[in-house]
Amino acid sequence: MPLAQKVAQVHADTFPAEIAGLLAYMQNELLMHMMKEERMLFPMINQGVGRGAAMPISVMMHEHEEHDRAIARLKELTDDFHAPEGACGSWTRLYALVKEMVDDLNDHIHLENDILFARVLAS
């Protein structure tokens, strides 16, 4: 995420450096996660395999737990997405965008784990 790298460079003395690395890690993990869903899991679900998708669903749910841990660490590092007093516009915008991404990711995890996967495994 270029904005995170920019803020990390400009505010190297005060910005938690781990944030930029964690965001890059999450981006990579999410891209691989979505590729597995699109190429393997969702086609299986569309074919109506039901409980036959239990193993890939288990893998996705495990990855969701890993995403939850990364989100928890981001919240910790960002003071729950609150930029420090007097933070520049870029820093404030970064935290707003990260919060939006986390909210979307939490919605994604909930929809898959609690609705889609539950329905597939019950069929």
Q: How many residues does the chain have?
A: 123
DSSP state, residue 84: P
pLDDT in tens, the chain (123 residues): 799 999 999 999 999 989 999 999 999 999 999 999 999 999 999 999 999 999 999 999 999 999 999 999 999 999 999 999 999 999 999 999 999 999 999 999 999 999 999 999 998
Q: pTM for this one? A: 0.89
